[in-house]
Structure 1
Amino acid sequence: MPETFHAYHSFGLQQRTAMRFEADVFECEVEGEIPEALRNGAYYRTGGDRLFPTLEDDIILNGDGMFSMFRFEDGHVSYRSRFVRTERMKAELAARRRLYGKYRNRYTDDDSVSNLPQRDNTGNTYAFAHHGELFALREDSRPYRLDPETLDTLDIGDFGALESTALTAHPKIDPETGEWWSYGVFAKGAPTTDASLHVFDRAGRLVREQWFHTPYPGLSHDWGVTRAHIVLPIMPLTADEARLRTGGDYYEYDPDLPSMWGVMPRGGDPARDMRWFPIPGIVMGHVMNAYSEGDKVILDTPCSPGNCFSFFKDKHGRTPTMPETITQITRITFDLSKPDDQAVTLQPVNGALGDMPKIDDRYAMRKYRTGYFALRDFPQMGVGQIDWDTGEVKAHELQGAAAQEPVFVPRTADAAEGDGFVLVAVDRFAEKRMDLLILDGNDVSRPPIATIKLPFAQPMCFHGCWVGA
C-alpha cells in the first residue's frame, strides 16, 4: 500500500511539503538587463526535497538532494533542477518505495538497506565548486560529484588517503592559496567526540589531516578560518547512540550545556593546541566570516538565544518557542591574551536579524567590511547588508515573499570589495513561484537590476555558489 506524503518540519517552526519534480526552463523570462559580469556562468544551489513519501514528523535535513542551476549564456538564462542520484535514492527507485527512516538513524530503516554505505549522504546542503569539479556536500558524508552542464550525478568524489567519513558542508576556500579547508565531527561515522581537520590543495589533493576530540558529541555545522587561526564551534545539540537504537532523534538540545568554541593557530595541532571557550546561552549554525588581529580572533555569526534548530526537541521533550529560534548577527571576539573567563565578548548588530550570511569571498579569512544575509525580522523580510565599519544595516525589503541565501559576484576580478552583484532566490508565496533577483552589491536596498522569473515554486535550497564561464 503506498505511503502518504506528510508535511515536514523546517526552520523557524515552519512546515513544508515535498514538491517532487525535476524541471527545465529554456530561456527564462527576464526583466531588466543581465550585468556583464554575469553574462556567462552558472549559479548552482542545492536543498532538501523528497522523492518518496516522508515520515510523520520528518525534518527538512532528511530530504533528498535537489540540485538546481541557473545557466547564464550571453545574457540569456535557463534553469534546470535534478535530484542527486545517490545510492540511497537508487535503492528506493528500484523498490519503488521509501526504504530509509529518520534523519541519520539507520535503526529506523528497512532491513533490505541496513548495511548501505553512505546511508546519510543525500547531497542536500551545499552546491560547491573546486578544482574544476562540482560537488553536492553534506556534513556527515563524502560528497557526490555532478556534471556541471547536465547536473547528472557522477560518483562519490576521490579524496585520496582521507580517513574522515565526514567533510563539512561549509568548506573554506583560501583566496590566496586556493586550498580547500574542511573538517568533520563524528568523523569515524559514529556519534562520538572523534573529529578530523583536513586540507586539500588547489588541485584537490589531500595535504593535511589531523585528528582530535571535541568537548562533547555536539552539532557543528560551520566554522571560521582566518589567516592565522581556526575557530571550531560545537553546539549543545548532542548525538547519542543509545537514543538512536530506541528510534530517537539524532540530535537533542541540552539547554544546560554551553556552546564550546575551539580556537587554535592555523598551523597548529588541534589535539594539542586547541583552546576551548564556553559561551552559554547561544546557538549558531552559520558563519559570515572570521579574521585575526594579533591576539584577537573575530568571528561574525547569526546566533539565537535558544535552539534555532527548532525541529529537534530538548532533553525535556520541549519544542522551542519562536523567540528562542530567532538569529541575530553577532560579532564574537576571542582575545587570546586574556584568561578564559575574560577572553570572550559578544556584540549583536542592531537590526541584523536573519541568517544565511555571505561575503565577497575575495575577502575571506581577513578583515572585511561588507556582509550580506537573508533578513528575517518578521514581518519585514528581504535581503540585508551590513557595513562593519559604520554598523549600518541596509535592507532590500520584500512584500509577501522571503529571500533564500544571497551570493555575491564581483563586477571584475579587481573591483573594490562589494562592488558587484548579489544573486538571491526569492519565494513568492501568493503566486506560488520563485524569482532570482540580481541586486547591486554596493547597496542592496536599490531596486533589482534584473529579475529572472520561474513559473513555479521550488524547494528551499540551503547553499550555493557562482561559477564563471
Structure 2
Amino acid sequence: MPEPFHPYHSFGLMKRNPMRFEADVFECEVEGEIPEALRNGAYYRTGGDRAFPTLEDDIILNGDGMFSMFRFEDGHVSYRSRYVKTERFKAELAARRRLYGKYRNRYTDDESVSNLPQRDNTGNTYAFAHHGELYALREDSRPYRLDPETLETLEVGDFGHLRSTALTAHPKIDPVTGEWWSYGVFAGGEPTTDASLHVFDKHGLLVREQWFHTPYPGLSHDWGITRDHIVLPIMPLLADEDRLRAGGDYYEYDPDLPSKWGIMPRNGDPAKDMRWFDIPGLVMGHVMNAYSEGDKVIIDVPCSPGNCFSFFKDKHGNQPTLPQTMTQITRITFDLSKPDAEAVTLAPLNGAFGDMPKIDDRYAMQRYRVGYFALRDFPVMSVGQIDWETGEIRVHPLEGGVSQEPVFVPRTPDSPEGDGYILVAVDRMAEKRMDLLILDGNDVSRPALATIKLPFGQPMCFHGCWVPGDAA
C-alpha cells in the first residue's frame, strides 16, 4: 500500500504540507510598474518540498530542492519552478516511492540506496550565482549546477582539488575581490569536529583550503566575514553517530552547552589562530553582516534564548516553547583586546523580532547602515528595515501575509547604500497563493511599487539571489 503524505515540521513550531508540483506561468499578472533596474534579470530561489511520501515526523530541511525563478524581460515577468533532479530524487522517481528516511540519517533508508554518494544533497537551501554559474546549495554537500534559462539540473559542480565534502549554504562574496568564501563542518562526511575553510577566486577556481577542528560536533548554518576577520559560530545542537545508528534525529539540542564563536584573522590559519568565545543561552541560524573596527569584531544576527530549530528536541526529549524559538536581531561585539570573560557584548535591537536578514551586498564585510529582514513578532508578520545608526525600524505591513526572505537590488551600480529595491515573496495562505512584492529599498514602509501575482501557493523558499539581465 502506498505511504501517506504527512505534514512536515517547519520553523516556529508550524506544520506545512508538501505541494508536489512544478509550475510555469508565462506573463504573470502585475499590479503597478516594474522599476527600470528590474526590467531585465532573474530572481532565483530554492526551498524544500518532498516529492514522495513524508515520514510522520519529517522536517522541512529534509525536502527535495524546489528551485524557482521569476524572470523579468522588458518589464514582463514569467515564473518557473523545477525540482532539483538530484541522484536522490531520480532514484525515488524510478522506484515511484520513498526510499530515503530521516534528515541526514542514512541508517533509516531503503537498502537499495544505502550507498548512494551525497545522499543528503537535495539542493534545497540557497539559489546562488557566481562566475556565471547557477547553483543549488545545501550545507552538507557539494552543490548542483542548474541551467539559468530552463532550471534543468546539470551536474554536481566541479570544485577542483577541494577535499571537503561540504560547502556552506551561506557563502560570502567579497564585493571587492569577487571571491567566494565558504566553509564546511563535518567536512569529512561524518558528524565529527572536522571542518574546512575554503576560498574560490572570482573565476570559481579553488585558491585556499585549510582544515581545523570545532569545539564540538555542532550545527553551523551561517557565519561572518569582515575585511580583517572570520567569525565562525557553532551552535549546541549536536550530531551523534550512535544516535543515528539507533534511528534518531541528526541533531539534539544541549541547553547546558554554550554556543561557541571562533574568531581569527582573515589571512590566518584556523588550526592555529582561531580564538573561541562562549555565549551561553543563545542560538542563531543566520547572519545579517559582520565588520571589524580595530580590535573589535561586530556581527549582527537574529538569535533566540532557546532552540530556534524547533523541530529538533533537546537532550531530555523536549521541544522548545514558542517564546524560546523567537529570534531577535542582536549586535554582538567581540573586543579582542580583552580577556575572554570580558570580551563579548550583546545588544538586542528593540522591536527587531524576526529572521532571514539581508543587506545591500555591496556593503558586505564592512561597516554598513541598512539591513532588511522578515519581521515575525507573532502574530504580526511584516517586512522590516533597520537603520543601524539611529536604531529606527521601518515596517511594511502584510495584512494576511507572511514574508519570506527579502533580497536587495541596487538602483544603479553606484547608487548610495539602500537606494534600490526589495524583492520579497509573500505567502497568502488563506487565499492559497503567493505574491512577489517590489518595495522601495530606501523606505519599505511605503506602498509596494509593484506586485507580481501567482494564482497558487508555492513551497517556502529559504534563500535566493538576483542576477541582472546581462548575466541571467
| Normalised TM-score (structure 2) | 0.99
String of CA shifts for 1:294-337, please: whole Å, max 9, x gaps.
00000000000000000000000000000000000000000000
Query: Which residue number in structure 1 is paired with residue 36 of structure 2?
Result: 36
> Are 2:8 and 1:8 equivalent residues in the alignment?
yes
Q: Whole-Å Cα distance in 2 between the matches of residues 430 and 203 of structure 1?
A: 45
**Matches of 1:452 and 1:131, distance apart in 2:** 29
Counterpart of 1:167 in structure 2 is 167
CA offsets 1:376-420 (integer angstroms, 9 cap, x no match)? 011221100000000001100111110000000000000000000
CA distance in 1, matches of 2:376, 2:446: 18
Match of 1:360 in 2: 360
- 1:351 aligned residue: 351
**Alpha-carbon distance between aligned partners in 1 of 2:162 and 2:322, rounded to the nearest angstrom:** 40
Q: Tell me, in whole angstroms, the C-alpha distance in 2 between the residues paired with 1:428 and 1:92.
A: 31
> 1: CA distance between counterparts of 2:120 and 2:2?
23
What one-letter code is carried by the residue in structure 2 that aligns with 1:40? N
The letter of the residue matching 2:44 is Y
Q: Which residue of 2 aligns with 1:138?
A: 138
Alignment of 1:280-429 (within 5 A): 280-429=280-429
Match of 2:192 in 1: 192
1:429 Cα shift?
1.5
What residue in structure 2 maps to residue 443 of structure 1? 443
Q: Counterparts of 1:50 and 1:215 in 2: how far apart (Å)?
A: 33
Corresponding residue for residue 129 of structure 1: 129
- Counterpart of 1:271 in 2: which secondary structure? helix
Measured against aligned partners, the alpha-carbon deviations of 1:140-171 in whole angstroms (never above 9, x if no partner) come to: 00000000000000000000000000000000
Residue by residue, what CA displacement relative to the aligned partner does 1:169-222 show, whole Å, maximum 9, x if unpaired? Answer: 000000000000000000000000000000000000000000000000000000
- Provide the C-alpha distance between the structure 2 equivalents of 1:3 and 1:240, rounded to a whole number of angstroms: 29
User: 2: CA distance between counterparts of 1:465 and 1:349?
Assistant: 26
Q: Which amino acid aligns with 1:22?
A: E
How far apart in 1 are the matches of 2:446 and 2:353?
Answer: 20
Partners in 2 of 1:380 and 1:427 — Cα distance? Answer: 14
Q: State the one-letter code of the partner of 2:45.
A: R
Match of 1:228 in 2: 228
Rounded to whole Å, the distance in 1 between the matches of 2:315 and 2:73 is 51
Residue 86 of structure 1 and its aligned partner are, at CA, apart by 0.1
Q: Percent identity?
A: 85
Letter in structure 2 aligned against 1:9:
H
Aligned length: 469
Partner SS, residue 430 of structure 2: coil
CA shift for structure 1 position 430: 1.4
Amino acid at match of 2:183: Y
* Aligned position for 1:23: 23
Task: Kindly provide the amino acid, as one letter, of the partner of residue 63 in structure 1.
Answer: G
Amino acid at match of 2:200: F
Which residue of 2 is the match for residue 243 of structure 1? 243
CA distance in 2, matches of 1:37, 1:379: 34
TM-score scaled to structure 1, two decimals?
1.00
- 1:24-43 Cα distance to aligned partner (Å, 9 max, x none): 00000000000000000000
Matched AA of 1:455: P
Describe the SS at the equivalent of 1:430.
Answer: helix
| Cα distance in 1 for residues equivalent to 2:429 and 2:286 | 25
Please state whether the residue corresponding to 1:92 is helix, strand or coil.
helix
Stretches (4+) displaced over 4 A: none
**What is the CA distance between 1:45 and its match in structure 2?**
0.1
1:306 and 1:378 map into 2 onto residues whose CA distance is 16
Q: C-alpha root-mean-square deviation of aligned residues, in Å?
A: 0.3
